[in-house]
Amino acid sequence: MKERIENEMKLEFLSKATNESFARITVAAFASQLDLSIEELADIKTAVSEAVTNCIIHGYENRQGIIKIEAKLEESTITIQISDNGKGIENVDMAKEPLYTTKPNLERSGMGFTIMESFMDSMKVESIVGLGTKVTLVKTIKQQSEQEESEFNMITKE
């Protein structure tokens, strides 16, 4: 019988661009307790990177603040909450639209939320103007046997 995985972690760091990779790698190391594929690990790292970058660029803009990450493992699911106490988002629905950006002068595509949504099973954004934003990302990891069956089916359809 497989051991039931339950664990959690909390991390706080300054909203410096250099800390984005630290956050991504830390969450990836924590998530690796699950039996994930390289693709699933890459999806989690990319989503975390996008969320942290949003906190730095949009949440705190030209000032420093604290970014918090809380992650929980339950069975084969990881739940990651990334939050800031920055300026908040006036219209979350509009911000989630592909290509929408409040920083057109930066080389950013306005695809952060879209990327998070596509790489994770679910994404929830909560924000209060003047108080900050919290993004909750959830991903359920397929068991290796399910992944192998899925890959086999893709190969046999070609």
Instruction: Give the active site residue among 108, 126, 149, 151.
Output: 108
Of the candidates 87, 32, 28, 30, which has an alpha carbon nearest to the alpha carbon of residue 55? 87
CA distance 25 to 130: 29
Of the candidates 60, 57, 83, which has an alpha carbon nearest to the alpha carbon of residue 70? 83
Active site residue 108: yes
Active site residue 24: no
Instruction: Give the active site residue among 54, 70, 107, 146.
Output: 54
Instruction: Give the active site residue among 7, 50, 107, 153.
Output: 50
Spatial strand order of the sheet with 132-140 comes to 6-14, 66-74, 77-84, 132-140, 122-128
Task: Indicate which residues carry an active-site annotation.
Answer: 50, 54, 108
